[in-house]
Each structure stands twice: as C-alpha cells, then as structure tokens.
Amino acid sequence: MKIDLQELEEEKKKNFEERLKFIDSYVEWLKKTPNREWSRQQVEVLG
C-alpha cells in the first residue's frame, strides 16, 4: 500500500480548517448564550 503524502497533507490542512471553524462558531455561541445555559450543558457533558 502506497501512502500519498500530498493527500495526507491536504487532509491535515482541511481538518485544521474545520477545527478552526468549529472553534469560531462555538465562541460565537458562547458569547450569545446566557452563562446559566451553557454552564448547565457543560455539567451534562462532564457528567
């Protein structure tokens, strides 16, 4: 099996960009959501 390094590098870049988009959208959600709501959701996640 031959590994295409260029393809892996492109996938790495795409994944990084997707993570940045997620972080940006999460930060926006945090800014517009009351503390009580997002802290309650964090408690559910951390259980």
pLDDT, tens digit, for every residue of 31-45?
999 988 878 888 888
Q: How far is CA 40 from CA 1, 10, 18, 29, 33, in A?
A: 48, 38, 26, 14, 11
Q: According to the model, what pLDDT value does residue 21 have?
A: 98
> Is 90 exceeded by the pLDDT of residue 12?
yes
Lowest-pLDDT range of 10-14, 20-24, 33-37: 33-37
Q: 32 is written with which tokens?
A: 């517009």
Where residue 20 falls among pLDDT bands split at 50, 70, 90?
A: very high
Counting residues of the chain whose pLDDT is more than 70, the rounded percentage is 100
Answer yes or no: are the C-beta atoms of 30 and 38 closer than 8 Å. Answer: yes
pLDDT band at residue 14 using 50, 70 and 90 as cut-offs: very high
